[in-house]
Amino acid sequence: MRIVLFGAPGSGKGTQAGILEKEFGAVHISTGDTLREAVVKGSAVGMQAKSYMDRGELVPDEVVIAIAKEKLASLGSNGFVLDGFPRTVAQAEALDAVLAELQKPLEAVINLSVDEEELVRRLSGRRVCPKCGEPYHVDSKPPTVADKCDLCGASLVQREDDKPDAIRNRLRVYQEQTAPVLEYYRRKGLLRDVEAKGGIDEITQRIKSLIGVR
Ligand code: AP5
Percent of the chain with pLDDT over 90: 92
- Name the pLDDT band for 201 (thresholds 50, 70, 90): very high
At 134, is the secondary structure helix, strand, or coil?
coil
Protein residue closest via CA to atom 27 of ligand 1: 53
CA of 117 to the centre of ligand 1 (A): 15
User: What global pTM score does this model have?
Assistant: 0.94
Region class of 25: left (phi > 0), else alpha (psi between -120 and 50), else beta? left
Closest atom of ligand 1 to 202 CA is 53
CA of 155 to the centre of ligand 1 (A): 20
User: Which of 75, 86, 63 lies closest to 21 in space, CA to CA?
Assistant: 75
Catalytic residue check, 87: yes
pLDDT of residue 187: 97
Q: Do residues 43 and 66 lie in contact, with contact meaning Cβ atoms separated by under 8 Å?
A: no
Domain 2-115+178-210: give its CATH superfamily: P-loop containing nucleotide triphosphate hydrolases (3.40.50.300)
pLDDT digits (tens, 9 = 90+) for 74-132: 998 899 999 999 999 999 999 999 999 999 999 999 999 999 999 999 999 999 999 88
Pocket of ligand 1 (CB under 6 A): 7, 9-15, 31-32, 35, 52-53, 56-59, 64, 84-85, 87, 91, 122-123, 126, 135-137, 140-141, 161, 170, 198, 200, 203
As a whole number of Å, the end-to-end CA separation of the chain is 12
Alpha-carbon distance 175 to 108, whole Å?
21
Residues counted in the chain:
214
At 49, is the secondary structure helix, strand, or coil?
helix
Q: Of these residues, 2, 36, 71, 87, which one is catalytic? A: 87
Name the burial class of residue 29, with classes exposed (0-12), middle (13-18) and buried (19+) by CB atoms within 10 angstroms of its CB.
Answer: buried
* Domain spans, the chain: 2-115+178-210
- Name the pLDDT band for 46 (thresholds 50, 70, 90): very high
pLDDT digits (tens, 9 = 90+) for 6-38: 999 999 999 999 999 999 999 999 999 999 999
- Name the pLDDT band for 204 (thresholds 50, 70, 90): very high
**Strand pairing of 126-128 and 108-113?**
unpaired
pLDDT of residue 10: 95
pLDDT of residue 162: 94
Catalytic residue check, 126: yes
pLDDT of residue 213: 87
